[in-house]
Structure formats: structure tokens, C-alpha cells
Amino acid sequence: MRFPYRRFRVQLFDGGPPSEIYRPIVPLVVHGPMGSALVHPLLDCGADYTILPQSVATAVGIELDVNRPGTIGGIEGGSLITYPGDAELEVSDHIQICRWQTTVRFVAGNNMLLGHLGCLEFFTATLNHFARNFELEPNAGYPGLG
């Protein structure tokens, strides 16, 4: 599956005028017992977990296991409490569809990352910044292909 990078206008640190930057954003459908939601998380090969907002879990009826909290941290030194929830995730480039069951870590706030557990463990990712696209191909870890 091939996806285009998403264009953002940002202020870089060079003091110049705003310029464009490209990020690997993946259209992701989150399926739950009460419905489905389309979100656009960042593909993050440095993230251990797949992280989505609790508001998304609420929207589709995914129940969180509050007895199994986990703390995640990032480069900014902050930390967030996450709770696991069972979800069915789906990505598609309108040619191929991949849909799998997994556990997602849900957080209060706005963070959305597709990390190793829950996503990249199932795919081989190839990022081509020059061509402004990236690819996700199911690997041997993808359910049904192993």
C-alpha cells in the first residue's frame, strides 16, 4: 500500500518565512462495537506503542482496561498514562485493504501514533521522503501471513 506524505505549513527554526514540511500520516479506520472512526495518525517507527486518543475509543465504543495503566514518555521528557483497549484497525490505499485485531494504548489528549506494537509489528514500512510517499506492506507478522 502506498500513501502520499501530508503537507503542512510550519515555521521552521531558520527565522525565514513559513515553509512546507511533509509528514507520513496514515488514514486509519478504528472499528469498535459501536461504530467506526477515521483518524490520521503519524507513522512513527520510533514509537514502541500505537497510541490513540481516548476520545476515539469513546466514539466507537472501545472499553478501556483501567486496571492496566502504562506510562509512556517521549523526547520532551513528559509522560502520559495510557490504558489498553482492544480494537480492530484498518488501513487502505484504495487498492488493498488490511484489517487486524490488536491492542491499542489510549491516552487523554491529542496524541496519535502508529508505533511498533499494534501496527508496525505487522508491516514493513518504506519511507521515501524524496518521492513524497511511503509504503506499508504486510509482513510475516501480519495475521494470516505468518
Binding mask 1-40 for another protein (x = CB under 8 A): -x-x-xxxxxx-x----x-x--x-x-x--------xxxxx
The answer to whether residue 99 forms part of the interface with another protein (CB under 8 A) is no
Each residue 46-85 as x (binds another protein by CB under 8 A) or -, in order, gives xx-----x-xx--x------------xxxxx-xxx-----
d(CA 134, CA 127): 4
Place of cell 495518525: 41
Radius of gyration of the chain (CA): 16
Q: What is the rounded CA–CA span in Å between residue 84 and residue 65?
A: 6
Residue closer to another protein by CB (options 53, 138) is 53
Nearer to another protein, 57 or 98 (CB): 57
What CA–CA distance (Å, rounded) separates 3 from 94? Answer: 10
What is the Cα–Cα distance from 113 to 49, expressed in whole angstroms? 8
Task: Give start and end residues of each alpha helix (H) in the chain.
Answer: 54-60
Chain positions contacting another protein, by CB under 8 A: 2, 4, 6-11, 13, 18, 20, 23, 25, 27, 36-40, 42, 44, 46-47, 53, 55-56, 59, 72-76, 78-80, 107, 110-113, 128, 131-133
